[in-house]
Every structure is written in structure tokens, then in C-alpha cells.
């Protein structure tokens, strides 16, 4: 096809696609119309249900009031009172004859104080009042004998297979001064005639059906409701069904459909004309200009007006100018971290290559890594993490001096290149920057604090930029292996230690995923009986045939951001075992350690409560232990509050080893203080001052006490003399597996 025919082809394509679009729109609007009708029907049905149900309720209330008035009039009458005492046929003939039948009462009975019938009318042969009703009538009679003026009571019961609305009034004298000597009963059966009369009044169909036989209405045009009734109907309910009025529907559909078709027709005609005149013809012209430009003709499209096509021409003409500017911008973005605006890893690699190529006398590279940053992302979201990284970059850049340069290598790792900087000066810079990051960070009303690990590598002759960066990485890994907030300088021996750490990291990840972290339990003893009061949950890990120190792998899990997963996996294994132990010793409680890095994990409380429910362990049997230092972090208040509100206890662990604000501790919902073992050791040396002070402080604040690390009878005696009633330590039992604990408990039945 020639170029001159292309505009016609485009016009046909646009017209065809627009027609398909209109068809799709018509179908969608038709479906929408049906949906609107359905919603309107449901809304109308709901209104009708409520109105009809309310009307039935009003009719039944009116009937109840009428029966109450009749029963009260007949019950508070000297003649009725004497009749109950001495039944006489004349009273019945005179008062319950033809004139009484006009009162429209289906059921009448007079009961004496002994519960026997003195008179009955409308009572089915061989029918007996339900036992539950007889009991309620006896209670009402007893109350009426104490208070003759008591109001009638109403009952809804199933009598001889038929629902009966019954009113019972006390029989007393006209002034209601003498104790009641019986009850008069008047009732209305819900028979077919009465239900038909009610159905006619409410404009629907009323019937009693079994509750389990109620089904949704088979048609959109039928409203259905269960009328709320209180009474013993043997599982039956009063079902109301009423037709939904549809007088509005045909006119609405016709109007909607006509308006829809008219709009589509006008839109199609106008769109076809617009496409032909304002789009297709001008695009063909631009296509011709583009071919001329390719052949070396015009370099710009003409602008004839101010519509969208003209805007397209202006944009196309500006592309040439923007392309050169974009190339410059891309070159800058290639070496810039988009989040913080500092140099990225590629910029650092280029700068290091240039630095090493110059072979300076002194130069150093410093790497910084935020400790526990992953928990911020997991608990507060990546948006909060990004804001924190921006603030970190701002503080570091503000603290640096030229020619030092800041880079972000990824996630929470930053690099500082220090030209002409000796190793000792680089270490001083590391400490200075750690202090800068040790301050508080404010975010959404929260106060967050962090530490940073630092690795320092010095340039030596012959090193490449990649070598210097690798040395700094090894130094950073060595610093993180020592703990949080450490600084390490590169040493060739770090290659082996880093290899060992990598093996431990991989092993720990695999152990957590496989549930291979073993729960151990150490009993907490009641000092008066030496019986186990609670169990502290501890973690143990066997790696490559050897036991890894809990301090080592717990700290490693915190550095890797795995402490939450480790705690979840440990509790998932420990709680079923604890449930089995608690079945033997119902009073046992469980105490587990909650890392400071988990205090910002909002989902932990929900996961723990779900696990407790699945294992059948009540929340009141579990306590979380938080160290004194961790408790001072405000970001943990929400989680600790959730745990306490759920019934989980809260222990202040290692008390006395941190720097606490007593005002802050008083605000937190702790119920128990654990005395650190270092204070227990002082007791063995004859120094009771600190242990006594902790005891007085805790009891004064209404908290319980547990002494840790009790290993000798002398320590036990001293703690008992000071008033400590709960203790744990090697004197009583070492940490042990669940099976070993079962044997330990079985050795002395008196322990449980």
C-alpha cells in the first residue's frame, strides 16, 4: 500500500476500534444497570422488611396489652377471689358466658394457689401446660402472694403443638390488698385465622416454621424477615415474607436504556468526525514531515495552534534539546544514590581506582553499618527506613570535612573515603561518626536510637581500589563479630575469622528455618517450699557436632536481623512441650526473653497469642523478660502494652546492670523484677546493700522479685533473710531439655 493511503487506513482502524469500545461500553453500562436495579431491590426489600417486622411487633404489643388489661380486670375482683376459694358454677355462667366470648380470647384458665385448675375454656383435651411454664407460673404466684399488686406477666409457649401468647395475672381482691390466692390465664393462639388476620394487616405472609428450615428468598422481588420473639417455641420462629413493590422498575429501565443509547450514538458520530478532521489528517501531515526530516529536509514540525497535536509537535521539537541534557543527567545518576543524594558504589569504585592509581603516602577507607536497621524496615515499614537513611546521610555529611567523601553502598551501609589520612586518624574518624549516629532519631512521634559498626582499611602500596574495598569489608565483618557499636581495623588474619563467621551465619539461617534451635528450661523455685514455680525458656544450638555459645548465636541473630524469626521458631517448639509439662503441674508458668531489637515488631504480639491459643496455654501462664536497658526504649511501649493487655506478664531482667530512670520504669507495666546474678555474688562476699535496695524498691512499687544465679546455700539463706521468695540457679537445677525436665520433676513428686 502506498504512503498516500496510510491516513485512510489509520482512520479505518481508529473508527473500528472506537466502535468496539462503544460496544464494550454499552455492555458494561447494561451490566451496571442490572447491578443498580439489584441494589435498589435489595434496599427496598430491606426497608420493607424493617417496616413490616416493626408493624408485626406493634400488633403483638397491642394484643399483649389487651390481654394484660383483661387479665388484670378479672384478676383484681372480689368475685374472682371468692370463686377461687369456693368455686361456684354461677360465677362462670355469669362472667364467662356469651358476653365474654365477644372479648376475642382463645384461652382462659383460673388456677388456685395449689396450681390446680378451677376453670378453663379453650383448653385442648388432654393438653397440659409445659413444665417450664408451670415452674414460671409457680414463681409468679409466689411473688404475687408477697406483692398482690404485681403486674401481669406474658409468656410465649408452644401449647399442644400450637404457639400461644399467654398473659397471667394474680387473683386478688379489688383493692389488691390481700395476698393472691391464684392466677388467671388468658391467651391467644397463633392459629391460621389469627396469622391470616395479622398477614392482612402487615401486607405479607406470616407463618411459624422451624428455625433450621429458614432459607433465603427464591426471588429478588421477595422480602423476608424473622420477627424477633422471646419465648419457648420449641425451635420455631415467626417468618414474614412480603412482595417488594416494582411499580418504579419499568419506567426506570426504559429511561435508563434510552438515555444510554442516545449518548452512545451522539458520542460515536462526534468522535468519528473529530478523528477525521483534527487527528488523522494532521498525523498524516506530520508523517510526511518526518519522512522529509529523515531525508535531510525540515528539522522541526510546524505548530498551527494550541491543541494536543500542537503540543505533540512542540514536545517533538524539544526532544533534541532534552536529549543532550538527559545524557548529562544520566551520567550523574549513574554515580549518585537516588535516596540520599550521596555517591553510590560505582562512584566509590571509580574514586578508589583513581586514589590507588595516584599511590598516595596515606589514605584510608571507612565502612559504617547501622546495627539493627532491618528491624526498622520490618516493624515501621520501608518508608520509615528510607527517611532514617536520609537523616543518617545528612548527619554524616554534615560531620565530615573536605577532602573526606561520603558514599552509600546499599541498604544501611555507608563508606567514607579519607585521602591523606593515616590509620590512627581514620580510627578517630570512625569513633567520631559513631558518636554522631548514636544520637536520637525522631520519627512519627517515636524516639529511635542506633549504634553503628565500623571497619577501617589503610592503603598500602600495590593495592587496587577493589583490594582496599575488600579489606574494609573484612574489617567491618570483624567489627560486627565483636558486637554492636565496635570498630575494627583490617588485619590479614581476618580472612579466616570472616570465613568462620560466614559458616556460622549460614548454619544459623538453616537451623532457624529447620526448627533446629532446641528449647531448654531452667526452673524458678519457690524459696519456702523449694518447688518449681516457673520455667525460664532458653535456647541451645548444636552446629557441626559442637554446642555454640548462646551469647554468640543470639548476638549473631540480632546482627543478621534474624532474632524475631529465632524467637518465633523457639516458641513454636517450646510451647507444646510446656503445655505437656503444665498438664502435670498446672501451676507452672513460662518466662521467655524478648530481645530489645524486637520491641518495635508490632506483629509479634499477634503471633504469640495465636501460638498460645493453638497450644492451649493461657496467656496468664506466660511472661516476657525485657532487660533494663531495652525497657527504656520508647519504641517498645506499644508492644509491651499489647502483651500486658492480653494477660501476659512482664519481667524486668538483669535489673541493676543498666542506667535506669525510676520515673520511666514506674510508667512501664512490669510486674516482676529479676535481681542480676552479680548482686547475688556480692551476697556471698557479705555485701547485702544492693540486694536489699532492689528488694525495697521492688516491693515499694508493688512488684514481685526473682533472684538469678543462686549457686550456694549461703546465698540462698541470705536472699531468704532479705525477703526474696523466688530464685533460680545451679543450686536448684541447671537448664535442661523437656525430657530431662520431666525426669527431674518425677524424681521428687513433692516438687509439683
Instruction: State the pLDDT confidence band at 579, using cuts at 50, 70 and 90.
Output: very high
Average pLDDT over residues 524-537: 94
Average pLDDT over residues 356-371: 89
**In angstroms, rounded to a whole number, what is the distance separating the alpha carbons of residues 22 and 258?**
15
pLDDT of residue 460: 87
Mind listing the pLDDT tens digit for each residue in 384-408?
788 888 889 999 999 888 888 999 9
Q: How far is CA 400 from the centre of its chain?
A: 43
Selecting among 63, 288, 708, 711, the annotated active-site residue is 708
Q: What percent of the chain has pLDDT over 70?
A: 81
What percentage of the chain's residues is helix, strand, coil (to nearest 5)?
A: 55, 20, 25
State the angle between helix axes of 6-75 and 249-274 in degrees (0 to 180), rounded to the nearest 10. Answer: 160
pLDDT of residue 568: 96
Q: Which of 69-73, 127-131, 351-355, 620-624 has the lowest mean pLDDT?
A: 127-131
Contact 690, 670 (CB under 8 A): no
pLDDT(722) > 60: yes
pLDDT(11) > 60: no
- Least Cα distance to 463 among 492, 431, 428 occurs for 492
Strands (E), 391-479: 405-410, 413-419, 440-443, 446-449, 452-458
In a 10 Å sphere around its CB, with 0-12 CB exposed, 13-18 middle and 19+ buried, how is residue 359 labelled? exposed
Mind listing the pLDDT tens digit for each residue in 476-512?
888 887 878 889 888 877 766 667 778 888 999 999 9
Strands (E), 81-161: 107-112, 117-121, 153-159
Q: What percent of the chain has pLDDT over 90?
A: 26
**In angstroms, rounded to a whole number, what is the distance separating the alpha carbons of residues 235 and 474?**
77
Q: For residues 93 and 530, which has the higher predicted lDDT (pLDDT)? A: 530
pLDDT of residue 126: 72
pLDDT of residue 5: 44
Report domain 345-497's class. Answer: alpha beta
Instruction: State the pLDDT confidence band at 12, using cuts at 50, 70 and 90.
Output: low
Q: What is the residue-averaged pLDDT of the chain? A: 82
**In angstroms, rounded to a whole number, what is the distance separating the alpha carbons of residues 60 and 565?**
62
Average pLDDT over residues 94-107: 75
- Which residues have a Cβ under 8 Å from the Cβ of 531 and sit 6 or more positions away? 525, 750, 751, 752
pLDDT of residue 3: 45
Instruction: State the pLDDT confidence band at 445, using cuts at 50, 70 and 90.
Output: low
pLDDT of residue 740: 94
**In angstroms, rounded to a whole number, what is the distance separating the alpha carbons of residues 50 and 56?**
10
Beta-bridged to residue 336, according to DSSP, are: 343
Mind listing the pLDDT tens digit for each residue in 325-338?
666 667 777 888 98
Grid cell at residue 648: 501476659
Active site residue 708: yes
Full-model pTM: 0.46
Helices marked H in 275-337:
281-294, 308-333
Domain range annotation of the chain:
79-128+502-749, 345-497
Grid cell at residue 639: 508492644
State the pairing for strand pair 672-675/704-707.
parallel
**In angstroms, rounded to a whole number, what is the distance separating the alpha carbons of residues 68 and 168?**
8
Residue with cell 575469622: 497
Mind listing the pLDDT tens digit for each residue in 189-245?
888 888 888 888 877 788 888 878 777 876 767 777 777 777 777 778 887 777 776
- Least Cα distance to 731 among 715, 751, 720, 749 occurs for 715
Same fold across 79-128+502-749 and 345-497 = no
pLDDT of residue 51: 72
Beta-bridged to residue 415, according to DSSP, are: 367, 407
Q: In what helix (H) or strand (E) does residue 607 lie, and over which residues does it extend?
A: helix 604-615
Q: For residues 311 and 710, which has the higher predicted lDDT (pLDDT)? A: 710
At the topology level, CATH places domain 79-128+502-749 in: TIM Barrel (3.20.20)
Beta-bridged to residue 520, according to DSSP, are: 538
- Least Cα distance to 474 among 392, 354, 365 occurs for 365
Amino acid at each position: 500500500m502506498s504512503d498516500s493511503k496510510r491516513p485512510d487506513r489509520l482512520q479505518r482502524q481508529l473508527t473500528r476500534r472506537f466502535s468496539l469500545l462503544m460496544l464494550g461500553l454499552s455492555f458494561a453500562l447494561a451490566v451496571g444497570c442490572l447491578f443498580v436495579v439489584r441494589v435498589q431491590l435489595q434496599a427496598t426489600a430491606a426497608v420493607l422488611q424493617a417496616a413490616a417486622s416493626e408493624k408485626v411487633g406493634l400488633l403483638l404489643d397491642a394484643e399483649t396489652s389487651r390481654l394484660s388489661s383483661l387479665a388484670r380486670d378479672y384478676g383484681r375482683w372480689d368475685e374472682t377471689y371468692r370463686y377461687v376459694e369456693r368455686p361456684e358454677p354461677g360465677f362462670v355462667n355469669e362472667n364467662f358466658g356469651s358476653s365474654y366470648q365477644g372479648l376475642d380470647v382463645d384461652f382462659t384458665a383460673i388456677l388456685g394457689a395449689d396450681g390446680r385448675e378451677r376453670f378453663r375454656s379453650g383448653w385442648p383435651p388432654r393438653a397440659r401446660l409445659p413444665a417450664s411454664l408451670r415452674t414460671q407460673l409457680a414463681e409468679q404466684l409466689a411473688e404475687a402472694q408477697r406483692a398482690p399488686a404485681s403486674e401481669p406477666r406474658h409468656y410465649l409457649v408452644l401449647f399442644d403443638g400450637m404457639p400461644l401468647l399467654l398473659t397471667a395475672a394474680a387473683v386478688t381482691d379489688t383493692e389488691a390488698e390481700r395476698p393472691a390466692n391464684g392466677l388467671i390465664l388468658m391467651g391467644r393462639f397463633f392459629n391460621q385465622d389469627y396469622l391470616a388476620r395479622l398477614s392482612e394487616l402487615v401486607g405479607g405472609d406470616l407463618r411459624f416454621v422451624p428455625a433450621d428450615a429458614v432459607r433465603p428468598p427464591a426471588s429478588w422481588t421477595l422480602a423476608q424477615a424473622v420477627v424477633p420473639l422471646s419465648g419457648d417455641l420449641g425451635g420455631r420462629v415467626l417468618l414474614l415474607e412480603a412482595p417488594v413493590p416494582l411499580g418504579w422498575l419499568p419506567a426506570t429501565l426504559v429511561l435508563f436504556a434510552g438515555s444510554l443509547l442516545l449518548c452512545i450514538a451522539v458520542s460515536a458520530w462526534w468522535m468519528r468526525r473529530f478523528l477525521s478532521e483534527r487527528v488523522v489528517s494532521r498525523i498524516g501531515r506530520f508523517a510526511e514531515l518526518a519522512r522529509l526530516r529523515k531525508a535531510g529536509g525540515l528539522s522541526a514540525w510546524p505548530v498551527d495552534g494550541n491543541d494536543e497535536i500542537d503540543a505533540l509537535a512542540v514536545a517533538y521539537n524539544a526532544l533534541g534539546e532534552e536529549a543532550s541534557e538527559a545524557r548529562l543527567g544520566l551520567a550523574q545518576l549513574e554515580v549518585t544514590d537516588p535516596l540520599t543524594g550521596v555517591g553510590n558504589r560505582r562512584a566509590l569504585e571509580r574514586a578508589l581506582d583513581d586514589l590507588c592509581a595516584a599511590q598516595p603516602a596515606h589514605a584510608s577507607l571507612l565502612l559504617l553499618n547501622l546495627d539493627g536497621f532491618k528491624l526498622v524496615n520490618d516493624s515501621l515499614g520501608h518508608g520509615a527506613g528510607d527517611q532514617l537513611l536520609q537523616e543518617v546521610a545528612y548527619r554524616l555529611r554534615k560531620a565530615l570535612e573536605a577532602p573526606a567523601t561520603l558514599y552509600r553502598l546499599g541498604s544501611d551501609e555507608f563508606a567514607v573515603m579519607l585521602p591523606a589520612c593515616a590509620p590512627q586518624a581514620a580510627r578517630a574518624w570512625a569513633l567520631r561518626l559513631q558518636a554522631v549516629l548514636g544520637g536520637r532519631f525522631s520519627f512519627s512521634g517515636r524516639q529511635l536510637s542506633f549504634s553503628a559498626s565500623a571497619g577501617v582499611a589503610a592503603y598500602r602500596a600495590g593495592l587496587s581500589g577493589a583490594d582496599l574495598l575488600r579489606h574494609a569489608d573484612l574489617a567491618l565483618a570483624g567489627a560486627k563479630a565483636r558486637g554492636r557499636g565496635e570498630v575494627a581495623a583490617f588485619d590479614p588474619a581476618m580472612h579466616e575469622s570472616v570465613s568462620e563467621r560466614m559458616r556460622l551465619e549460614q548454619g544459623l539461617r538453616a537451623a532457624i528455618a529447620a526448627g533446629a534451635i532446641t528449647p531448654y528450661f531452667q526452673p524458678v523455685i519457690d524459696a519456702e517450699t523449694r518447688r518449681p514455680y516457673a520455667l525460664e525458656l532458653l535456647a541451645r544450638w548444636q552446629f557441626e557436632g559442637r554446642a555454640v555459645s548462646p551469647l554468640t548465636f543470639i548476638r549473631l541473630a540480632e546482627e543478621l536481623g534474624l532474632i524475631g524469626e529465632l524467637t518465633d521458631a523457639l516458641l513454636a517448639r517450646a510451647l507444646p512441650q510446656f503445655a505437656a509439662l503444665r498438664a502435670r503441674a498446672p501451676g507452672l508458668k513460662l518466662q521467655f526473653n524478648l530481645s530489645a531489637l524486637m520491641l518495635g515488631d508490632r506483629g509479634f504480639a499477634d503471633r504469640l497469642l495465636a501460638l498460645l491459643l493453638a497450644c492451649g496455654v493461657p496467656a496468664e501462664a506466660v511472661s516476657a523478660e525485657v532487660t533494663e536497658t531495652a525497657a527504656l526504649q520508647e519504641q517498645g511501649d506499644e508492644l509491651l502494652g499489647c502483651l500486658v493487655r492480653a494477660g501476659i506478664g512482664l519481667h524486668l531482667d538483669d535489673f541493676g546492670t543498666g542506667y535506669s530512670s525510676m520515673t520511666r520504669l514506674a510508667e512501664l507495666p512490669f510486674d516482676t523484677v529479676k535481681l542480676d546474678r552479680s548482686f547475688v555474688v556480692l551476697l556471698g562476699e557479705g555485701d547485702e546493700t544492693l540486694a536489699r535496695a532492689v528488694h525495697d524498691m521492688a516491693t515499694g512499687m508493688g512488684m514481685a522479685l526473682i533472684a538469678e544465679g543462686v549457686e550456694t546455700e549461703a546465698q540462698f539463706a541470705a536472699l531468704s533473710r532479705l525477703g526474696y521468695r523466688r530464685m533460680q540457679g545451679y543450686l536448684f537445677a541447671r537448664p535442661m531439655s523437656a525430657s530431662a525436665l520431666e525426669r527431674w520433676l518425677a524424681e521428687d513428686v513433692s516438687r509439683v
